Amino acid sequence: GENVEQHPSTLSVQEGDSAVIKCTYSDSASNYFPWYKQELGKRPQLIIDIRSNVGEKKDQRIAVTLNKTAKHFSLHITETQPEDSAVYFCAASPYSSASKIIFGSGTRLSIRP
């Protein structure tokens, strides 16, 4: 069935440096890829999303890239700040059931002061 793999599971970066989280998906017909941020004990919140007709999307310090050929997409956070510390989930919407979203297993990002 559809699967989304996410790496790394934990990531620690120095404040001000960049962080990159990578995901791969199995359904080549997937066409919607959201990213969520979940702070400890809170709900996941959508931070950025991208559709398959776009290769890259930016929103201030956050960017997402999509490589449909390789079936992978990545989240890039630049100039990291302490408030970026959280768990980040990638997700993909499979063509076979476009009302569902398949989530990756999450990346715990820690920002070192």
Partner 1 sequence: DGGITQSPKYLFRKEGQNVTLSCEQNLNHDAMYWYRQDPGQGLRLIYYSQIVNDFQKGDIAEGYSVSREKKESFPLTVTSAQKNPTAFYLCAGGGLQGFNQPQHFGDGTRLSIL
Q: Which is nearer to partner 1, 44 or 63 (CB)?
A: 44
Decide if 104 contacts 46 (C-beta within 8 A).
no
Among 108, 96, 98, 104, residue whose Cα is nearest residue 32: 98
Among 44, 43, 48, residue whose Cα is nearest residue 66: 48
Interface ranges with partner 1 (CB under 8 A): 31-32, 34, 42-46, 49, 51, 89, 93, 98-101, 103-106
Q: Which is nearer to partner 1, 60 or 99 (CB)?
A: 99
Q: How many Cα neighbours within 13 Å face the side chain of 77? A: 27
The least CB distance from residue 55 to partner 1, in Å, is: 17
Q: Which is nearer to partner 1, 61 or 100 (CB)?
A: 100
